[in-house]
Structure 1
């Protein structure tokens, strides 16, 4: 997986002018940015998709960097009862990837990999002398509740991202691949759990099949696909756009969307 240079992202939602289109107004031409025609509800959803996709990208990128660092320092065969990892961004000055295991029926920290505020200069701390917080415990519980519920997946192994929400946790299960030049666009899912992480409240699949895209050799060529499970692109489409750098065109029932540098634009309304 190629190295991604991350820039600290502060999610400040800027105001946009919104006009609700009625039947008497002319329909915009194909290829025209339809931002001004979004309803307030659509704007809210688009902003959620963009910010969530960016967070997934940041957390996934930090996680694989931290995993490589940890596996260079320890023998994975020595680890017992692993409970996975969680990326913590609640302290912007020290984003941290923490690896967990269960020892004597108690959640324990294997290691912390601490980055600086610009997501650079990772520092590995093995067996840190600290206790697991309630927030950590709930996040790890949510992660393992979801993972234990998985019956099918589009790859032998999956990656995961846990994001906080007002009353619970969002757990994203991401299809993984080791095939060079392949983008595993299908099989990603979002789960919502209870605040204690013990109960799955809902789940949403972002595709109906295990779609794989082949990266074009020309970086100026855009990627295109049809998305049939929603009228809007998924957060994972934003994630793949940021991860690969390729422009994405997503066709839904609502129209054709363009994703560039994590930003979504409706180009053509149906």
Structure 2
């Protein structure tokens, strides 16, 4: 996993590539292939890049916060847990909050608060604060989606909740503990109502439980993506997570994902 200062850099400033060669390749590809991008293409590409980056940031903060909580308390004693939500609405204090249901009421088990650079996390157990309506809706959306899952590509799944107009995007992510394995299959996006109580739509990013294992000295991986013409946000997520360049073949052509940026290399 990359250091959090790099996460912050990519999130806020969309850092340029670290090598001159990579920059030149990106520039050449962009100028050569920009004619293929319609306004709709550019909107879709930007959405996928930004969503994948947010998934990566929130997932990175969540696993760090989870490790901190596990070190501090016996989580097996926590009953009726309702998962976690990563809050980025306060840039100076991004926070991962853990919840449980006690007699039908939502309570905060703990907050793990990072600084503005996504570093120096501080654990606050049972914080004395109110749960906002937005926070309640996000947890409800997560609970609704998790309750709807009938099967998954891993025994446990991770989750990310992102805001959207009049609703929530809930991403369910396949997890793995296998070293060097990238679980690119089984990820799914759900759209819920604003109150989080109803699932309005869902979209699977694969048709099978695909796993990739890149050789130790590999700098990139290639896969075929058949459910859409563009790469999925989770391909961007895995690119940023692993540092590997992703080459994704769709019906549209071959796409490259490098440092969170999508480029069309070759049209079909």
- TM score, norm. by length of structure 2: 0.91
For residues 45 and 225 of structure 1, what CA distance do their matches in structure 2 show? 20
Cα shift at 1:142: 0.2
Q: Does 1:251 align with 2:249?
A: yes
In the alignment, structure 2 segments of 5+ residues that lack a partner are 15-28
Cα shift at 1:219: 4.1
Find the residue that maps to 2:8 and give its secondary structure. coil
Cα shift at 1:35: 2.3
Q: Which residue of 1 aligns with 2:113?
A: 114
For residues 257 and 137 of structure 1, what CA distance do their matches in structure 2 show? 38
Q: Which residue of 1 aligns with 2:12?
A: 10
Find the residue that maps to 2:12 and give its secondary structure. coil
Contact kept? 1:35, 1:265, Cα under 8 Å: no
For residues 226 and 34 of structure 2, what CA distance do their matches in structure 1 show? 22
Q: Which residue of 1 aligns with 2:177?
A: 178
User: Runs of 4 or more off by more than 6 Å in structure 1?
Assistant: none
Within 5 Å, give how 1:2-41 maps onto structure 2. Answer: 2=1, 4-5=3-4, 6-8=7-9, 9-10=11-12, 33-41=32-40
Cα shift at 1:36: 3.2
Cα shift at 1:37: 2.3
- In structure 2, the CA distance between the partners of 1:11 and 1:86, relative to structure 1 (3 Å rule), is farther
Find the residue that maps to 1:85 and give its secondary structure. strand
Q: Which residue of 2 aligns with 1:262?
A: 260
Q: Which residue of 2 aligns with 1:148?
A: 147
Give the superposed CA RMSD: 1.6
Contact kept? 1:4, 1:61, Cα under 8 Å: no
Within 5 Å, give how 1:127-206 maps onto structure 2. Answer: 127-206=126-205
Q: Which residue of 1 aligns with 2:238?
A: 240
For residues 215 and 49 of structure 1, what CA distance do their matches in structure 2 show? 23
For residues 189 and 61 of structure 2, what CA distance do their matches in structure 1 show? 20
Cα shift at 1:34: 1.4
- In structure 2, the CA distance between the partners of 1:116 and 1:137, relative to structure 1 (3 Å rule), is same
Q: Which residue of 2 aligns with 1:210?
A: 209
- In structure 2, the CA distance between the partners of 1:11 and 1:143, relative to structure 1 (3 Å rule), is farther
- TM score, norm. by length of structure 1: 0.90
Contact kept? 1:143, 1:162, Cα under 8 Å: yes
Structure with the larger helix share: 2
Q: 1:207-234 CA distances to partner (integer Å, 9 max, x unpaired)?
A: 00000000320143x1000000000000
In the alignment, structure 1 segments of 5+ residues that lack a partner are 13-29
